[in-house]
Structure 1
Amino acid sequence: NNSPVAFTVTAGSFGYPSNVFKVISREDGLLYCLRRLDNVKCVSNKICAAVNETWSKIRHAGICQFHKCFISQRALFFVHEYQPGGKTLKEKYLDHGGKPQLLQERLLWSYTTQLVAAIRTVHANRLACRCLQPNHILRTSGGRLRISCVGIADALEFEARKSLAEIQREDMVCLGRIILSLATRTMITPSTNEETLRACGIFLAQHYSSDLHALTSALLSKPPSVYEVCGIMANHTMDELDNAYATCDAYSNQLAAEYESGRALRLLLKLGFVNERPEFGVNRQWAETGDCYVLKLFRDFVFHQADETGRPILDLGHVVTALNKLDASDTEKIVLASRDGKAILVVSYAEVANCLENAYSELCAVSSEGQPTYGGETTADQSEMTHYG
């Protein structure tokens, strides 16, 4: 049910030839990440159903959500949440030329906190990530990390007889390798020799705090559980929480500004529908009488002011202030004058707001009832004319 749009090829990410596609679902129109593994003979439809049931319920901001896996065209497919613009930690920090720069310790603690939070959710559901490698962890905008490829190892190694404690312990060792890799800007893998590990450990101790060195050493030698790591990292978790609150506040302020702009836009749209409407059913003077006349004068008051010499005044502050007071139905009085100066009205913003609501409601009522609108033609007549061009 997915239509491929673009793809990149990776060679044997899980020991099998694999392709990664960006696809659009025909069911909901959303983008997804589709991974195809060829030559997989150890996975059946029954195994796919079991993995789907297990992983589809896992929700966490630090995990690319698993949607489903299935077998088709003699290949095994996995569908995960798509993260636009994401780069793996390997691409971002480990695939470099020349002498790399050290990462700030604050950033390392932030990454570690995010990964531990995601691992904690997975382990709490009696599962293991089994994909904690720099080439399977995405860094997206805002310094966010997201673990991708969850559920794939569970399907490929479904028949394996590893215990839950064993594979969860492997997760913690992989976390230690990731921290050491980022701190030293060196790719640390299970096959890395002892001499390289020792040199990287010395480098970590020389350039970073004892807390980070102690945590990394513990994860690589005698890994504690994820819950014990949460206790060890309590102070740094509070720092990450503070940053998250600050980000939420910034987003809330931005959203509030956009919401205020939306309120002004709604007022402008209503005024546009009502002001100087050429005809309204059989009443060709509707826009020049009653509430609509007040709105016409208010439109000139807001947008068509001029100085004593007749030059137009383009005062955005005046426009925003007037629209905000209209939206709030302020009781402040204003003077509205016709263009020829023969008609002068003293009204409040609240009275103008009431006129706007009455006129707009009248338009909506006639539109929804299908009554004549323009020159006596019914809505059905207009639709038929449009249909036939």
Structure 2
Amino acid sequence: MGGSRAHCGAGCYVERMYGCTLLGLLLFVGTPLYSSECPCSDPALCQPIKDSRDFEVYVFHVRGKDWKNYDWAHVTTVAIFAPYEPELMCFAHSKGARYVLKGDVPLKDIVDSGNRTAWIAEKVRLAKAQYMDGINLDIEQAVLPQTPEYYALTALVKETTEAFHREIPGSQVTFDVAWAPPCVAHRCYNYTGIAELCDFLFVMSYDEPPERRTELIAGANAPFNQTITGYEQFIKIGIDPKKLVMGVPWYGYDYVCLQLTEDNRCKLKKIPFQGAERSNVAANQVGYSTIMKQINDSLSGRLWDDVQKAPFYNYKDAKGNIHQVWYDDPQSISLKVAYVKILGLRGVGMWHGDVLDYSDDPIARQQTEDMWKALLP
């Protein structure tokens, strides 16, 4: 989600397949994209999931068929940021897990109440046609307080929740927010109102800014103290902890060091960029499976920062440049997830479920199992 998380990429396949503008999309209302015939071998699997478990394990599915190897004993919701898969819907329902749409729309397009109503109606129709169980609203747009977009966003959440709950009994409507509430990335949302109006917030506790220093130094994607402070801030402004799901990263960042000091401080070059958390840092996002393959051949092997409570390592590329990679692993994730229970949060999730190595390699299999286990406090 966001610039690094890239939640806007693969999810709303209707727009991607048909190249729809909002107006064009609205013209599809009433035109089913799929047969109303249940695609599952057991028609009962096309019934929406109505029961909610005490502990939420929320998974974003982005690509491929690795979903077959998720920890289905604990998964409660799969949010689809990939093309619709009837097979996955049937399988998720067989495990008692919800299968939900991605919802994203330019806020300027739904300031008009009529456009907003039509957009919601299309999402409800699509979810019903595909036997889905709700929607994840992944807006992630800058909003200033008391603007038309500010009020339209709150109205969108309210009206989407009402429509889905009415049309698909037991359905789930969730909303993605940045790691802390005070206008992070210029997202000055009505957080308390939105939390009350939907089923819960998915808190994207990653892509957090590095500590402010006189020079730029590579650091953790989700430093422990800053991450936990974000949840305390959400609760302090009046949001029920049971309306918060902790999102953790299954990816890290690869930085090119201008200089690597003896105490492993990777000094970075500033670059001009607008509007992102890492606005003046050049870094590449890298998935956990790639990190696990690279770390054994690195210059340093796994290192640990006890202040940020996160692992990292250094390596040299083919051109002789020194890189530093910061990431999260079972140790760093477990430390944060422990606070799900301490703070009384609703559950945990990750971005995203498809960056682990689900092959038959015994080492990879153990690494993958450990990452899933780390989600359980």
> Do Structure 1 and Structure 2 share a fold, with TM-score over 0.5?
no
Which structure carries more strand by proportion?
A: 2
Q: Which has the higher contact order (CA 8 A, sep 6+)?
A: 2
Which structure carries more helix by proportion?
A: 1
Q: TM-score with structure 1 length normalisation?
A: 0.22
